[in-house]
Amino acid sequence: MRVFGIDPGSDRTGYGCIDSDGRVHQLVRCGAVRAGAADSFPDQLKIIYRELTVLLAEHRPDCVAIENIFHAVNARSALKLGHARGVAMLAAIEAGVTVVEYTPAEIKRAVVGYGRAEKPQVAQMVKVLLGLDAIPKPNDATDALAVAICHLHSGNLMQKAGARVASPKSQAPSPKSWRNYRP
């Protein structure tokens, strides 16, 4: 399964593409779309849309996972972020790709195991899970990879997207209580 993660932003939108067989994740490409600070806001959105359209056509993912807005310092920041998310979603939908959204807490929980993990913890786990020598740069790319990993760790969504997942019959039944657990 190939998942394309997006961490939206109006100045810099991170992206990360990962291939996975369900057990091993492999980095395909990551980076950030940088819209010039001197450009007008509509031009920044056009740059984000155009670059993501090219990347999606090039990598042809099975799914696009986008970080959901949770809150912003002020209303203006939230609106700008919402516009960036909108053009990212439009690029994915026009590419014919399924779009899923995850909150920051869901992403942290899926990648680190703790919904209030700090950014350095998430970055370190992205490095470990992808078997990389160094943490990807810029930070927006690392965040986008975390969004993609979150989707890959969501088994129910992998089934919907057609990825191979072990059938429940082949797995040992899970104990109803930790008291009954036997390794």
Mean pLDDT, all residues of the chain: 86
Q: Which of 53, 55, 14 is nearest to 137 (CA)?
A: 14
Active site residues: 7, 67, 140
pTM over 0.85: no
Percent over 90 (pLDDT), the chain: 70
Residue numbers of the domain that contains 37? 2-180
Q: Rg (Cα) of the chain, in Å, rounded? A: 17
What integer pLDDT is reported at residue 160 of this predicted model? Answer: 44
What integer pLDDT is reported at residue 70 of this predicted model? Answer: 66
Contact assessment for residue 90 and residue 13, using Cβ atoms and an 8 Å cutoff: no
What integer pLDDT is reported at residue 117 of this predicted model? Answer: 93
Domain count, the chain: 1
- Amino acid present at 35: A
What integer pLDDT is reported at residue 77 of this predicted model? Answer: 83
Higher pLDDT, 180 or 75: 75
How confident is the model over 48-97, as pLDDT tens digits?
A: 999 999 999 999 999 999 999 766 678 888 888 899 999 999 999 999 99
Residues 6+ apart with CB under 8 A from 46: none
For residue 38, pLDDT over 70 is answered with yes
Q: Six-digit token pair at 11?
A: 């100045």
What integer pLDDT is reported at residue 169 of this predicted model? Answer: 34
For residue 14, pLDDT over 80 is answered with yes
Q: Six-digit token pair at 171?
A: 């797995």
**CATH classification at residue 99:** 3.30.420.10
How confident is the model over 128-165, as pLDDT tens digits?
A: 999 999 999 999 999 999 999 999 998 654 444 443 33
